[in-house]
Structure 1
Amino acid sequence: MNIQELFNIQKILDTKILQEHKLEGEDLVSRKIMALQVELGELANETRCFKYWSKKNPSGKQIILEEYVDCLHFVLSIGLEINFMEVSAEIKMEETTEVDQFLKVFANIADFQRDLSHEMYVTLWGNFILLGAIIGFSWEEINTAYLRKNEINHQRQVEGY
């Protein structure tokens, strides 16, 4: 996966949204952070990893992957918003559970919101990418799903979503 290519693709969508909704020049960082938190919660809900009281299985892999790339759209968009696009595709595997990794990403989002530094963004990025690996996604699956969802997001803008 070429991360710079993903940032470039996201920038095209973000620009379209800004123009369509007349938001040029507005600071959207807080709204993007909140959107990421909401999407991350939706992702956790589909994995059901925290639902110790339930015997119901997680959603299918494609549904979970789509929720993951919804989050990825916002992680990329936040990076673009504050001009932090220098991140690594390397995954530093750790012994952890899905629940612990979700909690770590939620904490990273909160930390980043308080300190909009490049260091905090890189930490958020790395832990988010690790979450995808822990869930079981390959770079190829993420890239393909991101491109597919990006097309849908462009179409949604045309349709007035």
Structure 2
Amino acid sequence: MMNIEKLFQIQKELDMKILKEHQLEGKDLVPRKILALLVELGELANETRCFKYWSLKSPAEKKVILEEYVDCLHFILSIGLEKGFLYLSFEEINAPETVTGQFMEVFANITALQFNQREENYTKLWKSFVKLGVGLGFDYKEIEESYLMKNKINHQRQAEGY
């Protein structure tokens, strides 16, 4: 099981560093975070190639797809922190019928959250995102490990003026 409280705490440290560094304290960044999440989710879909029915090219390596997945996770956690939605749970989640359909569900849930920033919509987004991860073949341990690695890279990028 992923330690979600730990991930929220680690994300909070990165977010606070970014807010301070870029003088963004007190600003509502949720719209920008939602757009960033949509872009990152599109990048993830692109690496899986699950929708590219016209192409014979294989998906990216699992490692690349996992990195894109945790890029999305960073923004989901960051949105939860900004809105105070910190009570996410893990339940047994079955793989989706299709990965393409699951991407569409996650996109729809992000859009729903954009227009109505209620905790219920955030929870639906979370569950659909976790289900997408299951559909992509990831387990909680590798998601958490990849998140921690990418978080270190994000801190380094901030230190280097990314």
TM-score tier, shorter chain, comes to over 0.9
1:1-161 equivalences under 5 Å are 1-93=2-94, 95-161=96-162
> How far did 1:95 drift?
4.4
Distance 1:95 1:128 in 2: 11
| 1:91 and 1:130 in contact (8 A); partners too | no
Sequence identity of aligned pairs in percent?
61
Structure 1 residues 95 and 64: CA distance shift in structure 2, 3 A = closer
| 2:96 and 2:131 in contact (8 A); partners too | no
| 1:69 and 1:146 in contact (8 A); partners too | yes
Distance 2:159 2:96 in 1: 43
Letter matched to residue 88 of structure 2 = V
Answer with 98-107 or 82-91: which moved more: 82-91
> How far did 1:94 drift?
5.2
Distance 1:66 1:21 in 2: 25
> How far did 1:89 drift?
1.9
> How far did 1:91 drift?
3.8
Letter matched to residue 65 of structure 1 = L
Structure 1 residues 138 and 77: CA distance shift in structure 2, 3 A = same
Unaligned 5+ runs, structure 2: none
Unaligned 5+ runs, structure 1: none
> How far did 1:100 drift?
0.1
> How far did 1:96 drift?
1.4
Runs of 4+ in 1 over 6 A off after TM superposition: none
Paired residue total: 161
Structure 1 residues 87 and 103: CA distance shift in structure 2, 3 A = same
Provide the TM-score with structure 2 as the length reference: 0.98
For residues 37-88 of structure 1, the C-alpha deviation after alignment (integer angstroms, 9 at most, x for no partner) is 0000000000000000000000000000000000000000000010001011
Distance 1:89 1:125 in 2: 10
Structure 1 residues 94 and 67: CA distance shift in structure 2, 3 A = closer
Distance 1:91 1:16 in 2: 34
